[in-house]
Amino acid sequence: MNISERLNRLMIEKKMKKSDLAKAMDTSSGYISDILDNPNKKIGSDKLASLKRNIPNLNIDWLLNGIEPMFISEYETLCKEIQGHIPPELESIIEEYIKTGDEKVKERMLGIMEGIRIAIKK
């Protein structure tokens, strides 16, 4: 499967039109049509960054190289973004969630992780 086919699959999975994908990539529908019709067309890193920003759980490794899964969990996405900035308090909450699977603990964990992500990006 090439990148054009994977973009088509993404649009099907997300129930997107070409115009929706264009918006997510901060580009025109014509550019999207060109990519979908030309499997050898390269996608600019700025377009990929926009796509990732607008579909944060999209696995860019899948899009570029076909490495499954297509989507990664919110938890995995946040972990990648805050890597190296995880305080001990959060580590203990993560361990508690892994042991218990408690949804309240998960929500608390994701809330703290999101706060760290926002602080890092400032």
Q: What is the pLDDT of residues 33-88, one digit of tens each?
A: 999 999 888 899 999 999 998 998 899 999 999 999 998 887 777 777 788 888 88
Distance CA 39, CA 23 (A): 20
CATH class, range 3-65: mainly alpha
Please state, for a pLDDT cut of 90, what percent of the chain lies above it.
Answer: 45
Residue 99 has pLDDT above 80, yes or no: yes
Q: What is the pLDDT of residues 54-64, one digit of tens each?
A: 998 899 999 99
Q: What pLDDT, on a 0 to 100 scale, did the predictor assign at position 20?
A: 97
Residue 94 has pLDDT above 80, yes or no: yes
Q: What pLDDT, on a 0 to 100 scale, did the predictor assign at position 19?
A: 96
Residue with the two structure tokens 């972990």: 79
User: Which of 77, 26, 80 has its CA nearest to residue 49?
Assistant: 26
Predicted structure pTM score: 0.67
Residue with the two structure tokens 């088509």: 8
Distance CA 42, CA 67 (A): 18
Q: Where in the chain is the domain with CATH 1.10.260.40?
A: 3-65
Quickly count: other Cβ atoms within 10 Å of residue 71's Cβ: 17
